[in-house]
């Protein structure tokens, strides 16, 4: 009972934000965040990485497979086609495995390298970069954009603003058309949309997602990351002292302050100054507008822009790089970062287990499903020649992408007569439904209810697929 809970002193963080006079005018020209362009290896890699995923996003819906759109998530038909794989509502476990694998992959990467998903792969980050690029090309660099927004409307300002917003609208419209193209045939969508012949829901979806893209990337920007996205809130649960995050080294940087470039590094240290010259470039290039020197903050998306900016300043001053870097709390405190640790290993093990289950589910998946529905109007009926007849509706679902022919047989019923199509052809990804009757002599029936099976066997392809669907044959 005498044991005390250890208490850790935490220095309050001063968050970089607009002045109190401008509070409540978040997007006023004097208080909005004007991100400064930055050059460096991390920024180059981030742009390259983002453009790769942007290219995949734009190209994938145009790919063809066996004469059809390779990736089509058709909600109306309740069918997801992904190249040679067709998913139906019955494949919910497979879809659940995909989401679980994605979640644990995100947890694993976040535990190891912080919010690199937000900084390098998140669509919001990529689209904000695209919008900012147009902004810089049309309105100029950061200082010119600030001056442009602060002056009254004139011809030059009107033309620049019109060009910028026109570019933003076009990007938003192309983004929305491409996104909706994952859920409806994209070739038809483009033609019908621009000829005003699209369906209501397809047209509404394009306009809705275009408005969302325009608002999110053009205006909300960092607000999406700091206030709306839930990932910014629960990321701290995955961080530990060994997680690599963008961090400022106060032991090396303080005391900060300006100094002439001609002053040698040794003279700087003799004067008691740190490496930080307080140029504020790390704040100006930050897409969320924080000051990384205040410590780890949930707004930081680990994009590394401040790392490139600071390294550029260190180069010009002749100081060692790495004042701001991807590092861990353990390393900043003088320790050694432990790459392999229980939490990281745990996430990796669970991730591998879920990947294994996903692969096993795909490999063992049978591309055929059969459903038997008994006639509810009558349990049985007696034919003119004295046979007992049961009526069923059989549904054959071809989960493959190729047309298949199937043979239908009955097991468990001796000397039966099959009335209906005992061989059917079903197109890829389609459902074939047909009524059939099974009749037999009552002397062959030992019980009132006889357990039987409908056997459906594929006749095409190198590998034979057979599905046995149980049902009942009723007499009396």
Rounded-to-integer distance, Cα 220 and Cα 211, Å: 12
Cα distances from 141 to residues 135, 149, 398, in angstroms, run 8, 12, 57
Element (H, E) at 69: strand 68-69
Rounded-to-integer distance, Cα 194 and Cα 73, Å: 22
pLDDT tens sequence for the chain (476 residues): 455 656 555 554 444 444 444 444 444 443 688 999 999 999 999 888 888 889 999 999 999 988 889 999 988 888 888 887 888 887 888 888 999 999 999 999 999 998 888 888 889 999 999 999 999 999 999 999 999 999 899 999 999 999 999 999 999 999 999 999 999 999 999 999 999 999 999 999 999 999 999 999 999 998 888 888 888 778 778 888 999 999 999 999 888 888 888 888 888 888 888 899 999 999 999 999 899 999 888 889 999 999 999 999 999 998 999 999 999 999 988 888 899 999 999 999 999 999 999 999 888 888 888 999 998 888 888 888 889 999 999 999 988 878 899 999 999 888 889 998 889 999 887 889 999 999 999 888 888 899 999 999 998 876 788 999 999 999 87
Handedness of CA 207, 213, 214, 216 (dihedral sign): positive
Do residues 101 and 358 lie in contact, with contact meaning Cβ atoms separated by under 8 Å?
A: yes
Angle (CA) 469-474-476 rounded to 5° is 175
Query: Which pLDDT does position 31 carry in this prediction?
Result: 61
Rounded-to-integer distance, Cα 99 and Cα 109, Å: 15
Give the residue carrying structure tokens 């990804």. Answer: 429
pTM here? 0.79
Rounded-to-integer distance, Cα 298 and Cα 236, Å: 8
Query: Which pLDDT does position 385 carry in this prediction?
Result: 87
Query: Which pLDDT does position 3 carry in this prediction?
Result: 59
**Cis bond leading into 134, ω under 30°?**
no
Rounded-to-integer distance, Cα 59 and Cα 61, Å: 6
Give the residue carrying structure tokens 């594929």. Answer: 458
Q: Which phi and psi angles does 313 have, rounded to 5°?
A: -70, -40
**Token couple for 249:** 């080294």
Rounded-to-integer distance, Cα 138 and Cα 135, Å: 5
CA atoms within 13 A on the CB side of 198: 24
Query: Which pLDDT does position 226 carry in this prediction?
Result: 84
Element (H, E) at 128: helix 123-139
Do residues 404 and 425 lie in contact, with contact meaning Cβ atoms separated by under 8 Å?
A: yes
* 3-class secondary structure, 402: coil
Element (H, E) at 92: helix 92-113
CATH number of 368-474: 2.60.40.10
Query: Which pLDDT does position 444 carry in this prediction?
Result: 85
Rounded-to-integer distance, Cα 179 and Cα 127, Å: 13
* 3-class secondary structure, 401: coil
């Amino acid at each position: 009972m005498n044991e005390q809970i250890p208490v850790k002193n935490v220095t309050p963080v001063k968050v970089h934000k607009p002045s109190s006079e401008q509070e409540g005018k978040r997007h006023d020209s004097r208080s909005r965040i004007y991100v400064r362009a930055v050059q460096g290896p991390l920024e180059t890699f981030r742009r390259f990485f983002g453009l790769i995923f942007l290219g995949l996003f734009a190209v994938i819906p145009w790919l063809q497979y066996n004469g059809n759109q390779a990736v089509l998530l058709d909600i109306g038909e309740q069918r997801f086609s992904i190249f040679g794989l067709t998913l139906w509502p019955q494949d919910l476990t497979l879809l659940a495995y995909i989401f679980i694998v994605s979640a644990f992959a995100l947890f694993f990467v976040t535990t190891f390298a912080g919010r690199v998903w937000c900084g390098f792969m998140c669509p919001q980050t990529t689209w904000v970069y695209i919008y900012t690029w147009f902004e810089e090309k049309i309105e100029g660099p950061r200082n010119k954009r600030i001056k442009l927004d602060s002056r009254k409307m004139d011809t030059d300002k009107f033309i620049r603003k019109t060009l910028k917003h026109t570019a933003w609208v076009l990007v938003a419209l192309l983004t929305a058309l491409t996104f909706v193209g994952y859920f409806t045939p994209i070739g038809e969508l483009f033609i019908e949309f621009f000829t005003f012949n699209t369906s209501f829901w397809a047209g509404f979806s394009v306009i809705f997602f275009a408005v969302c893209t325009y608002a999110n990337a053009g205006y909300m920007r960092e607000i999406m990351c700091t206030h709306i996205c839930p990932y910014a809130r629960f990321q701290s649960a995955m961080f530990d002292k060994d997680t690599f995050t963008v961090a400022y080294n106060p032991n090396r940087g303080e005391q900060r302050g300006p100094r002439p470039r001609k002053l040698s590094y040794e003279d700087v240290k003799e004067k008691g100054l740190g490496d930080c010259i307080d140029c504020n470039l790390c704040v100006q290039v930050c897409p969320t507008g924080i000051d990384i020197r205040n410590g780890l903050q949930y707004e930081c998306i680990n994009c590394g822009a401040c790392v490139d900016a600071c390294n550029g300043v260190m180069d010009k001053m002749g100081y060692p790089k790495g004042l701001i870097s991807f590092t861990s709390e353990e390393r900043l405190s003088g320790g050694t970062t432990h790459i392999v640790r229980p939490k990281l290993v745990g996430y990796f093990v669970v991730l591998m287990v879920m990947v294994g289950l996903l692969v096993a589910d795909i490999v063992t998946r049978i591309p055929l499903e059969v459903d038997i529905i008994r006639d509810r109007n009558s349990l049985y009926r007696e034919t003119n020649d004295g046979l007992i007849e049961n009526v069923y509706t059989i549904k054959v679902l071809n989960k493959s992408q190729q047309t298949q022919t199937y043979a239908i047989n009955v097991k468990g019923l001796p000397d039966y007569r099959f009335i209906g199509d005992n061989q059917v052809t079903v197109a890829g990804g389609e459902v074939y439904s047909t009524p059939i009757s099974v009749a037999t002599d009552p002397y062959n029936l030992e019980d009132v209810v006889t357990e039987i099976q409908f056997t459906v066997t594929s006749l095409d392809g190198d590998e034979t697929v057979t599905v046995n669907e149980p049902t009942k044959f009723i007499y009396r």
